Amino acid sequence: MIALYLRGHEGVRPLGALMGVVLPAVAAACDLYLLFNLDAHAKWLGLIWLALGAAYLAYLTRLFSQAQPEMDFVEEAA
């Protein structure tokens, strides 16, 4: 969000500096604080979960030689 704001992206620029820079920076600082204060077991579990997700993505994309799958959020009428 901050990078898009600094680049002048038309979808982010109208939000202003508060919503485009300050709020995302505060959220990132909170995330980092929580991450550094996690228990070691939680950090290991998170790394294992990340590795499984990366391995599954590698499998789906045939070792990243194909485009990643996209989700379709359009609901079909019954």
Phi, psi of 55, deg, nearest 5: -65, -40
Q: Domain segments of the chain: what residues?
A: 1-37, 39-68
Express as a percent the part of the chain with pLDDT over 70.
Answer: 94
Task: For residue 69, name the pLDDT band (cuts at 50, 70, 90).
Answer: confident
Contacts of 55 (CB under 8 A, 6+ apart): none
Q: Quick: pLDDT tens for 27-43.
A: 999 999 999 999 999 99
